[in-house]
Amino acid sequence: MQSQLSRSTNRSKMMPEFTGNWHQHKEKPRILVKCGGFSSQLARNVNEKVDGDPLWGSRFDATQPDAVIQTHLDFLRKGADIILTNTYQSSVEGFMKHLGKTREESIALIAKSVELARQARTKYLSEVAANNGDIGPDMPWILASIGPYGAHLHDGSEYTGSYANLVNFSQLQAWHKPRIDTCLSAGIDGLAVETLPCQLEALAVTDLLLTCYCTPRFWVSFQCKDSSSLAHGESFAEAALAVWNMVVKHKAQSRLLGIGVNCVNPNYVTPLLKSLLAKLPHGVTVPLVVYSNRGEIYDSDRGEWTGNGLNVASFVPEWLRLGARIIGGCCRVYPDDIYEIRQTIEDIAQQPQSPIQTSLVM
């Protein structure tokens, strides 16, 4: 652990403020490394099956909190700048149905997920300090995982977006709000609105964040079925641009951490990002976030992943060239993969005339 921790301490003492246009800054853009697939790693730390559970990893906030803390630490110790709370599949309805909790207990369990991430960060920072590190209290970030409406249905619809035909804009906002309120009250650094399979939900949540909350930073990340389309079938480029235009309309670019994709085949990422970049007006730069899976396919009937995985780190150089500023992993991307992603980014940053940097001391 000594070498892993000391490598991590090369990161920033304090976080620079994110803005919607990276070229407004004279310094090279800062690249942040997100953790990998939380539930994939959690499955290595518990003695129960995670995939296929109606609550997925969220169940273990209640039943095995030490394993949740350990999973966060696994990624932090390998160099993650950002960890996500174990709330992707958390919902009041889900906890009431599958754990027998009351509404109040369900909300408390969502808050507990944030607290577990905070405990992991505190322990990690203590380890860094014990190894003479200089990472400051603003690092690493904890973002609340705000998974899609379809995740709590436990029918695989987060990979199809089929529920977009069954719920409307305001219903989606009403469903998302309790989890967002709870995570913000519990104390987080931002929101990771992720794995959204349809444009309707992306616009509903973005509008909610821009109209009901004044300060939280956030990113919006889509689930895509191929190299051009959302899982529900809409154009990724059009959906991403619609989110960007909504952010610009509200003059909230400084709050936007990124727009991008997650839990997609890494082979799809480059064409997806290129399709968005081609739609942008000349001179406009949108911060991009990418955290793919390994290219395997989740079989919802069998409750497991199938196919052969790819080396996600090998795609990182091209994602950086396209302007990705937050890069990590999703399902089946483990701590060792995150270490390789971080090492790849650092190696590129050390090259002469590199357009990026991995640390910024303020």
Q: Which residues carry a binding-site annotation for Zn(2+)?
A: 263, 330-331
Rounded to whole angstroms, what are the CA distances from 327 to 183, 210, 246, 264, 316? 23, 24, 24, 13, 8
Query: Which residue has 């409750």 as its token pair?
Result: 303
DSSP assignment of 220-271, as one string? Answer: EEE-BSSSSBBTTSSBHHHHHHHHHHHHHHTT-GGGEEEEEEESS-HHHHHH
| Residues in the annotated binding site | 263, 330-331
Q: Kindly tell me the sign of the dihedral angle through the C-alpha atoms of 260, 314, 73, 361.
A: negative
Structure tokens at 319: 């994602």
Interatomic CA distance for residues 319 and 181, integer angstroms: 33
User: What does the DSSP 8-state code read for residue 34?
Assistant: B
Residues in a beta bridge with 290: 261, 327
Considering only CA atoms, give the Rg of the chain.
19
The distance of Cα 249 from the centroid of its chain, to the nearest Å, equals 24
Angle between helices 103-130 and 65-76 (to 10 degrees): 40
**Residue matched to tokens 């322990």:** 123
CA within 13 Å, CB half, 222: 37
Task: Give me 166's structure tokens.
Answer: 């069954």
